Amino acid sequence: MRLSKYYLPTLKETPAGAEIVSHKYLLRAGLIKQTASGIYSWLPLGLSVLKNIENIIRDEMNKSGAIEALMPCIQPATLWQESGRYDDYGKEMLRIKDRHESDMLFGPTHEEVVTDLIRDAVKSYKNLPLCLYQIQWKFRDEVRPRYGVMRGREFLMKDAYSFDVSYESAMDSYNLMYKTYIKIFKRMGLTPIVLRADTGPIGGNLSHEFHILANTGESTLYYDNKIFKLLESEDIESLKNIYAVADDMHDLKLCFIPQKQLNISKGIEIGHIFYFGDKYSKPMNVKVTLQDGKNVNIHMGSYGIGVSRLVGVIIEAFHDDKGIIWPEAVAPFRIGLINLQTKATGAADRIYEALKSDKVFYDDTEENVGVKFARMDLIGLPWQIIVGKKAVSENIVEIKNRATGEVEEMRIEEAINRFSTK
Ligand code: 5CA
């Protein structure tokens, strides 16, 4: 992509109201623009990161055997009246009336819709287990939308729903998602802290939260530092037994963590998984026939990941005072090509053509050197190829690693070779 043909409205100054680093950089690097409080437009560069995050999630969800679907944003109130949640949900739910005066809502979550979706077709134990997921926009009219995409009103979520014939089978589904979540976050370069959690308005009796450590986090985490070793082992049973809680000293006392193993840090919730049995299948009357002819309510679980929140979380985890430092797995482009020789574009053009435009972001503008360097550091692409005077005289360019700042000189062919092989 050539910058001269792209839409990248970067900002020199930090806009007022942006308190945390991810919010500042999201706005300054031209990734998002606020449309209304807690509601954002995704600009091309931001959308590209959002899609990369989506695709990692999609890939691991598919590998786990879950199947992608897409449910509507707008839902009828009748389904929520059936589950009994319509009155409980309160002001966080955006309630709408259609032209026939029917009560509708913008979905804050999809337990009711998905239960309704399967209830006519799933009648026998032979249809189960089943896990459906979607990546869909939600709306929650949060009291205090803040920190950019961290706590939005409109936000993108990956939400999955599992259906099983028994508690034992539902635990297998739950554990599989637990494992899949660790894989997903690791692929983004993140180390999740998994906590036992409250089930809140989703309801149910088993739940874990996945957090990322960050001093701008809204929760305080208390956890056993053995968790890091166990995360490497991916031993789910031991992980589930390790004690970690958020914001709750009372629980902490109940489950003693040896003082020298106790870590206390701020965290941001990036995922939340729930097992809630028949909380929805019972009031909505969703039953399957077992092998022995008995009818039982389906056991359900739901599994959420804050997809748009993750864009902010990754910036919180990977940045410096110059800007963002994207992990390669989610970077909008792999390479930033900076041409400092505005009168002689031959060398830079050649590199651009050779490396294919989808992974190279080419600053082909005539702006001054300082502006170009600062902008490229701000948008945080993992690699920079800097084409200066030596490109013309000696066929040599500089390769800069954005994370370490290390600069290496090499011949143009060598640079092309290096980035086209990997
Ligand atoms: N139905 C369940 C799981 S599918 C559910 O709604 N879970 S949740 O409420 O915990 O949300 C799932 C994830 O969405 C959270 O872990 C968080 O990462 C993200 N999330 C929740 N609220 C917001 C918000 N206001 N802004 C951005 N992300 C949010």
Backbone angles phi, psi at 114, to 5 degrees: -70, -35
Q: Which of 110, 144, 309, 313 to mutate to test the pocket of ligand 1 (most atoms within 8 A of CB)?
A: 309
What 8-state DSSP symbol labels residue 185?
Answer: H
Between β-strands 130-139 and 67-68, what pairing exists: parallel, antiparallel or unpaired? parallel
Residues 22-39: tens digit of each pLDDT? 999 999 999 999 999 999
User: For 67-71, 262-266, 326-330, 376-380, which range has the lowest pLDDT when averaged over its residues?
Assistant: 262-266
Give me ligand 1 centre to Cα 290, in Å.
33
> What's the maximum distance between 2 C-alpha atoms anywhere in the chain?
83
**Atom 19, ligand 1: residue with shortest CA distance:** 306
Chain segment 170-217, per-residue pLDDT in tens:
999 999 999 999 999 999 999 999 987 766 666 667 899 999 998 888
Buried b (16+ CB within 10 A) or exposed e, 155-183: bbbbbbbbbbbeeebbeebbebbbbbbbe
Distance 34 CA to ligand 1 centre (A): 20
Return the DSSP state at 4.
G
CB-based contact 153:140 (threshold 8 Å): yes
Tally of helices (H runs) and strands (E runs) in the chain = 13, 23
The first and second tokens of residue 67, run together, are: 């199947």
Report d(CA 77, CA 89) in Å as an integer: 12
Secondary structure (3-state) at 134: strand
Which residue has 């691991």 as its token pair? Answer: 60
Per-residue pLDDT reduced to its tens digit, 40-89 = 999 999 999 999 999 999 999 999 999 999 999 999 999 999 999 999 99
SS3 content of the chain, % helix, strand, coil (to 5): 35, 30, 35
- Tokens 């998984």 belong to 273
Instruction: Determine the average pLDDT of the residues in 212-227.
Output: 85
**In contact, 211 and 270? CB cutoff 8 Å:** yes
Residue located nearest, by CA, to atom 27 of ligand 1: 151
Mutational test site, ligand 1, from 54, 85, 141, 157, max ligand atoms within 8 Å of CB: 157
Residue identified by tokens 């005072």 is: 321
What structural domains and CATH numbers belong to the chain? 3-320 (3.30.930.10), 333-420 (3.40.50.800)
Indicate the average pLDDT of the chain: 93
DSSP 358-387: TTEEEE-----HHHHHHHHHHHT-SEEEEE
Give CA–CA dist 384/234, Å, rounded: 35
Q: Where do the H-state alpha helices sit in 37-107? A: 44-63, 77-83
Residue 160 CA: which ligand 1 atom is closest? Answer: 4
* H or E element, residue 408: strand 407-411
Distance CA 231, CA 212 (A): 13
Q: How far is the CA of 190 from the centre of ligand 1 (A)?
A: 18
Residues within a 6 A CB radius of ligand 1: 109, 111, 140, 142, 151-152, 155, 157, 159, 202, 269-272, 302-304, 306, 308-309
Which residue in 280, 267, 250, 231 sits closest to 109, CA to CA?
280
Which position has the token pair 């290390």? 406
pLDDT for the residue numbered 202: 65
pLDDT digits (tens, 9 = 90+) for 100-116: 999 999 999 999 999 99
Partnered with residue 269 across adjacent β-strands are: 211
Alpha-carbon span 288 to 291, nearest angstrom: 10
Its pTM surpasses 0.85: yes
Position 248 pLDDT exceeds 80: no
